[in-house]
Amino acid sequence: MKAAARTRKPRRAALPANSAVRALAVLGDRWTLLILRDAFLGVRRFGDFEARLGITPTVLTRRLAQLVAAGLLRRAQATPARVDYHLTAKGLDVYPVALMLLRWETRWFPARAAIVLRHAVCGRETTPCLTCGACGTQVYPRDVRYEDGPGAGLDPATARRLRRPSISVDDNRAAHRYLEHAADILGDRWSWEIIGGAFLRRRRFDEIQSQTGMASNILSARLARLTRDGALERRVYQERPPRHEYVLTSKGRDLYAAIVMLMRWGDRWLAGRRGPPLILFHKLCGQPLDPRVTCSACGGVLDPHEVSYELADAPRSAADNLR
């Protein structure tokens, strides 16, 4: 009996199912996000990814293989000696997440705003907006409520083993710097879980820990970093003994649109037969929230084939982006 006890594997904890967290298991890696960023901007060749990202060939090979295995990219034989990488429908559907991250970075790091979007349908510069598909009005965190969906339950914690990325925007290795600050946050999945939980009113240390399964030292480090970076504010909620909670700042709240679109992607591609674990409702119209990313100029949905970009006075057409 003793020998059997020694070989028995410990029981792994299960944590509340969440489509955004499932999506992070696929997308929540800094290199993965930056590869997808460049794929949206028309990069297809291995050498071009390598040059733009400042990434080692070994790491790039691994990340591209993971994206192909996850169904976000497909390999195409461009020439007998060259394989290109093209976005699949699943990969293209990450585009709204990227747009909302770009909107956040442009607002909070304007000195690095090296990209301007133009909507081909109306011909005007655009700022992506999160809108309700049912009523067409812009969506803000205060106007959304949530309840358990048909897929509510528990996910195994084994699928959520996370680690902090080893590089950040401060390494300054890439040729193109846009979306790097957003990738620093989304690419550290623990930080992203903390921010997402804050929108669900999980603000206290023990609440966050119980919902994420984070070790105390990891949680303390992430809270300190998010507070230092200005996404969270530490507030006293009890004097004796002193207790603190972590509240979203304006900078943190502005990530809401990206979180909603990340949840939408997870609902669409990872929820399975049971359906979404969480359903959002738009209070203004009372309907389940069908989130869409629309043009600030004309209100039309921003399709990746209809959005062009301009970088350092070098315009590109929408067709060039995804050719």
Identify the residue whose tokens are 């956040």: 104
Tell which residue, 186, 187, 169, has the closest CA to residue 178.
169
- Give 114's pLDDT tier (boundaries 50, 70, 90): low
Max CA-CA distance within the chain?
Answer: 74
State both tokens at 189: 């999945």
Average pLDDT of the chain is: 87
Q: What's the pTM?
A: 0.87
- Give 175's pLDDT tier (boundaries 50, 70, 90): low
Which has the higher per-residue pLDDT, 156 or 159?
A: 156
Inform me whether the pLDDT recorded for 82 exceeds 60.
yes
Inform me whether the pLDDT recorded for 316 exceeds 80.
no
275: left (phi over 0), alpha (psi -120 to 50) or beta: left
Alpha-carbon gap, residue 64 to 52, rounded angstroms: 15
Spell out where the chain has E strands: 14-16, 73-79, 82-87, 115-119, 124-125, 129-132, 144-148, 154-156, 232-238, 243-248, 278-282, 291-294, 307-311, 314-316
Alpha-carbon gap, residue 197 to 203, rounded angstroms: 8
Identify the residue whose tokens are 């442009």: 106
Cα-based distances in Å from 161 to 23, 157, 210, 222:
13, 7, 15, 15
Average confidence (pLDDT) over 165-189: 66
Average confidence (pLDDT) over 95-124: 89
State both tokens at 222: 């992430």
- Give 61's pLDDT tier (boundaries 50, 70, 90): very high
- Give 256's pLDDT tier (boundaries 50, 70, 90): very high
Average confidence (pLDDT) over 273-277: 94
Q: Delineate the domains of the chain, giving CATH numbers in brackets.
A: 14-189+264-321 (1.10.10.10)
State both tokens at 65: 């293989």
Please state at what angle helix 19-27 crosses helix 30-40, rounded to 10 degrees. 80
For residues 316 and 42, the answer to whether their CB atoms sit within 8 Å is yes
Residue 220 CA from chain centroid, whole number? 22
For residues 116 and 310, the answer to whether their CB atoms sit within 8 Å is yes
